Chain A
Amino acid sequence: MGLEKFLENAVLTTTISEVLKWGRKNSLYPFAFGTACCAIEFMSLSSSVFDISRFGAEVIRFSPRQADLLLVAGTITFKQAPILKQIYEQMPEPKWVISMGACASSGGFYDNYCTVQGIDEIIPVDVYIAGCPPRPEAILDAIMLIQEKIQKEPTEYQKPKRPIVIGNE
Chain B
Amino acid sequence: MENITIGKLKENFSTSILEINTNNGDAFVLVEKKQIIPILTFLKNDSELDYNMLIDLSAVDYLKHPVKKAERFEIVYQLYSLTKNHKIRIKVSIEMKDLCVDSATSLWKSANWAEREVFDMFGIKFNGHPNLRRILTHHEFIGHPLRKDYPIKKRQILSVNDTLMDEMEQKLREKGLKQ
B153 touching A113 by the CB < 8 A rule? yes
Q: Of the candidates A78, A83, A86, which one forms a contact with B157 in the assembled complex, judged by CB atoms under 8 Å apart?
A: A78
Assess whether A111 is interfacial by the CB under 8 Å rule. Answer: yes
Q: Of the candidates B151, B156, B161, which one forms a contact with A86 in the assembled complex, judged by CB atoms under 8 Å apart?
A: B161
Q: Of the candidates B150, B151, B153, B155, which one forms a contact with A78 in the assembled complex, judged by CB atoms under 8 Å apart?
A: B155
| B138: nearest chain-A partner, CB-CB | A79
Known: A78-B138, A79-B137, A79-B138. A113 touches B150 (CB 8 A): yes
For residue B138, which residues in chain A have a CB less than 8 angstroms away from its CB? 78-79
Give A38-83 interface residues, CB cut-off 8 Å to B: 78-79, 81-83
For residue A117, which residues in chain B have a CB less than 8 angstroms away from its CB? 155
For residue B145, which residues in chain A have a CB less than 8 angstroms away from its CB? 113-114
For residue B177, which residues in chain A have a CB less than 8 angstroms away from its CB? none
Dominant SS at the A interface? loop
Known: A114-B137, A114-B145. A79 touches B162 (CB 8 A): yes
Interface size on A, residues (CB 8 A): 12
| Interface size class, chain B | 10 to 19
Chain A window 115-147, contacts with chain B (Cβ cutoff 8 Å), 1 for yes, 0 for no: 011000000000000000000000000000000
Assess whether A112 is interfacial by the CB under 8 Å rule. Answer: yes
For residue B151, which residues in chain A have a CB less than 8 angstroms away from its CB? 113
**Roughly how many angstroms separate A86 CA and B145 CA in the complex, as a whole number?**
26
Q: Of the candidates A79, A83, A112, A116, which one forms a contact with B153 in the assembled complex, judged by CB atoms under 8 Å apart?
A: A112
Give B117-172 interface residues, CB cut-off 8 Å to A: 137-138, 145, 150-162
**Roughly how many angstroms separate A117 CA and B157 CA in the complex, as a whole number?**
12
Q: Of the candidates A78, A83, A112, which one forms a contact with B152 in the assembled complex, judged by CB atoms under 8 Å apart?
A: A112
A78 touching B158 by the CB < 8 A rule? yes
For residue B154, which residues in chain A have a CB less than 8 angstroms away from its CB? 113
Q: Of the candidates B150, B155, B156, B160, which one forms a contact with A82 in the assembled complex, judged by CB atoms under 8 Å apart?
A: B160
> Within the complex, what minimum Cβ distance (angstroms) separates A100 from chain B?
22
| A79: nearest chain-B partner, CB-CB | B138
Known: A82-B161, A86-B161. A111 touches B153 (CB 8 A): yes
Please indicate which of the listed interface residues B151, B152, B156, B161 has the most CB atoms of chain A within 10 Å of its own CB.
B161
For residue B158, which residues in chain A have a CB less than 8 angstroms away from its CB? 78-79, 81-82
**Roughly how many angstroms separate A112 CA and B145 CA in the complex, as a whole number?**
10
B159 touching A82 by the CB < 8 A rule? yes
For residue A112, which residues in chain B have a CB less than 8 angstroms away from its CB? 152-153
| A115: nearest chain-B partner, CB-CB | B155
List B residues at the A interface (Cβ < 8 Å): 137-138, 145, 150-162
Please list 23 pairs of residues, one from A and one from B, whose beta carbons are closer than 8 Å in the complex, sorted by A's number.
A78-B156, A78-B158, A79-B138, A79-B158, A79-B162, A81-B157, A82-B158, A82-B159, A82-B160, A82-B161, A83-B161, A86-B161, A112-B152, A112-B153, A113-B145, A113-B150, A113-B151, A113-B152, A113-B153, A113-B154, A114-B137, A114-B145, A116-B155
Leading 4 A-B pairs by shortest Cβ distance: A79-B138, A82-B161, A113-B145, A78-B158
